[in-house]
A and B are shown apart, each in its own frame.
Chain A
Amino acid sequence: MGHIGAAVLGAVFNLNHPAHTVDWHFIHLSVANVVVIGLMFVAFFAALLLPFPGASRRRGGDS
């Protein structure tokens, strides 16, 4: 699995080059870290907006 997995992932993500970065004034971030930060924003707003299972029943029920 190790060699096969590495070969498959290597075909999808070409890592044989210097890291891509985002540069703006003193800010210097790798694209990988920018993607993670973007996913954190997505998770944050999804957590605020998506309904929680059973939330409406609990609020309307035994209060």
Chain B
Amino acid sequence: MSATPTTPGTAPAGPDMHSWTVKVREAGVEALPPEKLLPDGQPTYVASWIYMFGVASIASLIVIITSGSILALKGPAWWHDTSIGHFFNSIHMWGVELFFFVMVVHLWGKYWMAAWRGGRTRVWITGAIIFLVAVPTALTGYVSQQNFDAQWIATQAKDGLNSVGVGAFFNVTNFGQMYSWHILLLPVAVVLLVSAHVLLVRTHGVVPPFELEKRPEFAAAADGAPAPDGAAGAEGQS
């Protein structure tokens, strides 16, 4: 990145378009302007409980990450042998239960809305990948408990994983390996994917109901163009 020289008494020159930071900034602002990234309101059709399960999934994920960070810092002896350790262990486990509960209801809702409409294919795909990555994230957690339950699950899972040929490098009976997957690699993947998913939702807007799409102002959306601006403008902001 280079400094932009200015002459006293003249207007400053524009940004240096050869700078990669300028290019990244311009592309970012063009793709997701601040008013779209953090909008003042949502279209009125979002005022329904079925639209709450996406944010409920994020809330559950925050609880999981927070409680999991504390568990990782304190270690297995703490979460097995102390009351407060049991408490955070339970918070972490029930957070995961709630995460999958609300994520699957979110998936059902978006499936029946055909939420991939209006150029939202990448939103749908990232959501599906999050679900697929969340499953091994949970599995590696269940086999990292350091108790008989973990041993039972690991010895059951190893047969399935061996049968598909991945057991040699993904060994569910290896606590160290599973713990590394569980507290670093897979959570990072889930958080990055959720971030991408949310940014894509902000870019394309929340998918409108079917009956709205038939109105003239949504005709463009049927051709594959994103419709959030039209949706928001036509239906008002809440």
Complex: chain A residue closest to B236, CB-CB: A63
If the complex has contacts A2-B83, A40-B101, A44-B108, are A62 and B236 also in contact, measured as CB distance less than 8 A?
yes
B155 within 8 A of A: no
Q: Which residues of A contact B101 (CB under 8 A)?
A: 36, 39-40, 43
Chain B residues 113-167 with CB under 8 Å of chain A are: none
- The CA of A52 and the CA of B51, in the complex, are separated in Å by 10
If the complex has contacts A2-B86, A61-B236, A62-B237, are A47 and B47 also in contact, measured as CB distance less than 8 A?
no
Contact yes or no, B105 A47, CB < 8 A: yes
A27 within 8 A of B: no
B20 within 8 A of A: no
Q: Which residues of B contact A48 (CB under 8 A)?
A: 48-50
B109 within 8 A of A: yes
A47–chain B nearest beta-carbon distance, Å:
4
- The CA of A58 and the CA of B238, in the complex, are separated in Å by 6
- The CA of A11 and the CA of B48, in the complex, are separated in Å by 40
**Chain A interfacial residues counted at CB < 8 A:** 19
A55 within 8 A of B: yes
Contact yes or no, A59 B47, CB < 8 A: yes
Known: A2-B86, A39-B101. 14 other contacts (CB 8 A): A2-B83, A40-B101, A44-B105, A47-B109, A48-B48, A48-B49, A50-B49, A52-B48, A52-B49, A54-B238, A55-B48, A58-B47, A58-B238, A59-B47
Interface of A with B (CB < 8 Å)?
A: 1-2, 36, 39-40, 43-44, 46-48, 50, 52, 54-55, 58-59, 61-63
Interface of B with A (CB < 8 Å)?
A: 44, 47-50, 52-53, 83, 86, 97, 101-102, 104-105, 108-109, 234-238
